[in-house]
């Protein structure tokens, strides 16, 4: 199924994974996928961080999911480190394998500051190529707090609107306040863009996760940090986890009330927290 058609038909529920790097990680992911099948996700998304090996792991996982015919899969693609010809070949391979959904991303610049050759300046260039190569439903990334490399929020919204003029939908970086999604959607509407924007949800289940999430691009708000610290004082790690899941569940419920086109869960290849949130929202 094409994700643009799924979104047009009604609310979606989707989950994101990263391809395993070892046999142990593969076993964990296989168990997670099996656990989530009964939830009947609208689609699942598979990340790709860069490099030929990672690209092939993503390709193998996405095409395997599609072959099994139980879930619809979306493949992540990035600009960094790719020539136009190489990316056209990757897209053609996905099309030949029956994959009809791709996520066009800029990609991370190497942390060591080294330069990586690329024929693409921005993700919109990759969106345009995907349009040329095949009949794909194309998603792009959105950042409620603004892209870390954007000079201003106004600039971020302008370029996101430009991407969405060619793409079919957006998926946001995770965030923690429903107003952030509403504001993002409203600012895009002011620019004439009304395509679906799926909110990304990631529960904070440990205190150490607070710092990691800030590095990943979305700072945990002070009020949530206070809740997690109080939970830790009350009942330790188990209480922190429960409080983080409760906060993510409440955020998801509020987003549904506000009319979000769906919910996209970042799973970190584990199913437990996602299943608890899903159960609270849809199975009670």
Furthest CA-CA distance within the chain:
57
| Reduced 3-state DSSP string for 23-39 | HHHHHHHHHHHHHHHHH
Query: Of residues 16, 66, 180, 187, which has the active-site annotation?
Result: 16
> Cα separation of 40 and 87, whole Å?
31
Catalytic-residue membership of 223: no
Within 8 A by CB and 6+ apart from 14, the residues are 41, 42, 43, 44, 45, 198, 262, 263, 264, 265
Query: Which segments within the chain are labelled E, that is strand?
Result: 12-17, 43-46, 73-78, 101-105, 137-142, 169-174, 197-201, 262-266
Q: Cα torsion for 260, 266, 270, 272, to the nearest 10°?
A: -30
Catalytic (active-site) positions: 16
């Amino acid at each position: 199924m094409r994700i643009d058609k799924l979104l047009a038909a009604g609310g979606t529920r989707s989950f994101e994974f990263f391809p395993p790097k070892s046999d142990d990680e593969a076993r964990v992911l296989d168990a997670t996928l099996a656990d989530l099948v009964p939830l009947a996700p609208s689609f699942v998304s598979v990340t790709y961080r860069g490099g030929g090996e990672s690209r092939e792991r993503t390709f193998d996982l996405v095409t395997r999911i599609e072959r099994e015919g139980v879930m619809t899969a979306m493949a992540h693609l990035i600009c960094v480190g790719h020539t136009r010809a190489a990316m056209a070949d990757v897209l053609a391979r996905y099309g030949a394998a029956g994959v009809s959904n791709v996520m066009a991303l800029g990609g991370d610049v190497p942390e060591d500051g080294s330069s990586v050759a690329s024929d693409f300046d921005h993700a919109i260039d990759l969106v345009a190529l995907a349009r040329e190569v095949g009949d794909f439903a194309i998603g792009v990334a959105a950042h409620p707090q603004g892209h870390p490399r954007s000079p201003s929020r106004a600039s971020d919204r302008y370029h996101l609107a430009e991407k969405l003029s060619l793409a079919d939908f957006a998926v946001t970086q995770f965030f923690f306040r429903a107003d952030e999604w509403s504001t993002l959607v409203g600012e895009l509407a002011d620019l004439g863009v009304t395509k679906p924007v799926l909110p990304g949800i990631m529960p904070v289940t440990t205190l150490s996760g607070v710092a990691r999430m800030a590095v990943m691009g979305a700072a945990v708000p002070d009020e949530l940090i206070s809740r997690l610290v109080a939970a830790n004082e009350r009942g330790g790690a188990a209480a922190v986890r429960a409080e983080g899941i409760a906060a993510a569940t409440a955020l998801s419920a509020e987003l549904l009330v506000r009319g979000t086109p769906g919910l996209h869960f970042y799973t970190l290849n584990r199913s437990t927290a996602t299943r608890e949130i899903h159960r609270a929202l849809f199975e009670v």
